[in-house]
Amino acid sequence: METFRVGLTRDFLNSSGQLAMGEIGLQKLKDTSGVTLEFFHEHLPEVSAKQAEGYDAIISLAPRYTQQTLEGANLRLSVVARLGVGYDMVDIEALTDHDVILTITPDGVRRPMATAVVTLLLALSHELLAKDRLVREGRWQERTSLKTAGLTGRVFGSVGLGNVGREVFRMIQPFEMVHLATDPFVKPGEVAGLGVELVDLEGLMRRSDFVSLHCPLTPETRGMIGERQISWMKPTAYFINASRGPIVDQLALYRALEKRTIRGAGLDVFEKEPIPKDEPLLRLNNVILTPHTLCWTDECFLRMGMSAIDSVLAVLRGEIPSYVVNREVLKKPGLRAKLEANRVRWRAISGEERLE
């Protein structure tokens, strides 16, 4: 009986070949009969057809997946299980055309992402980096010149109200802030327990003291926050983005920060990553910049890894995993045939056939 082959993208490993962020739950796969797993031999920004060949499942971190990825002669892939909630690096249509499921890990990333957003909220409100500079530059006597923003009664506005946005509101409840959100897919009754007022985007931008993005990058959200939307913000307001960089017109945001028409920003994501060395944002002292890793903790990677592994094992058993992105693929005969073949293989591997 041929084994169920699982590949992991090389970017999980550091230059020494060790897991860069610690344990991701691989022992669960290793303990499963009939499963073999291995890391890709090299990291490529886009997974090649040769890399994808021969695997039943791929557990993936950052690489892109395109039509070319799936054109291997020995493609038997059933699922790409991506760690994280974004999937803008994946050609969804290509995966669906080749009868491949894409899963994500919202259950693993929800709390770590919310914690990252709260980290930026607190760092901005307390002018943390400015205070750090005062000490390092020997300007202790200027400490009373910094005006910081208390949170009680301030307005926190979330653009998007999915898993992460809701978790942020749960975490900041003790701060006694006013909670606003805008999300065309959410009805008031769904979030009544969070004490969130649903408003339109303009109302949120105008009223909020902290605007935070919690939405995926889609054709509809790309460039959604531009010069006009930023102009609605208060001059005392802060902007937070730990979602996806291209949702925001980065030049427009820079201009607002440079002219101080808004007070500051905390950014974990950018239009281009890695951020170019000549990026104007790097010259500003009223913005906190982190390299799209703010939520990357040992807890985050373990939770995401376990979620992705659960998806892979579900496919091995011939079942539909949780958190499928391209649900239209579930109707395709090609995928159903793969799942049935996996189900037969699993029954043989697990000994279910012998028990009947």
Do 95 and 70 contact (CB within 8 A), yes or no?
A: yes
**Cis (ω within 30 of 0) for the bond into 274?**
yes
In contact, 250 and 270? CB cutoff 8 Å: yes
Please state, in angstroms and rounded to a whole number, the distance separating the CA atoms of residues 119 and 247.
Answer: 21
Set 98, 111, 166, 292: catalytic member: 292
Q: What order do you get walking across the sheet with 101-103 strand by strand?
A: 35-39, 4-8, 57-60, 79-82, 101-103
Specify the DSSP class assigned to residue 320.
P
Residue 21 DSSP symbol: T
What separation in angstroms does the CA of 82 have from each of 67, 124, 220? 17, 31, 22
70: which residues sit within 8 A by CB, 6+ positions away? 49, 52, 77, 94, 95, 97, 98, 100
126 included as an active-site residue: no
> Distance between CA 143 and CA 159 in Å, rounded?
34
Direct distance between the N- and C-terminal alpha carbons of the chain, in angstroms, rounded to an integer? 19
E-state strands within 97-195:
101-103, 155-159, 178-182
Residue for token digits 């669906």? 96
Q: What is the DSSP string of 237-256?
A: -EEEE-S-GGGB-HHHHHHH
Residue 38 CA to residue 176 CA, distance in Å, equals: 48
Catalytic residue among 244, 263, 303, 345: 244
Q: Which two tokens stand for residue 34?
A: 């009939």
* 197 part of the active site: no
Tokens 């899963």 correspond to 103
From 93, 142, 220, 273, the catalytic residue: 273
Greatest CA separation for the chain = 80
Please confirm, yes or no, whether 244 is among the known catalytic residues.
yes
Read off the tokens for 152. 């009680």
- Residues with a catalytic annotation lie at 244, 273, 292
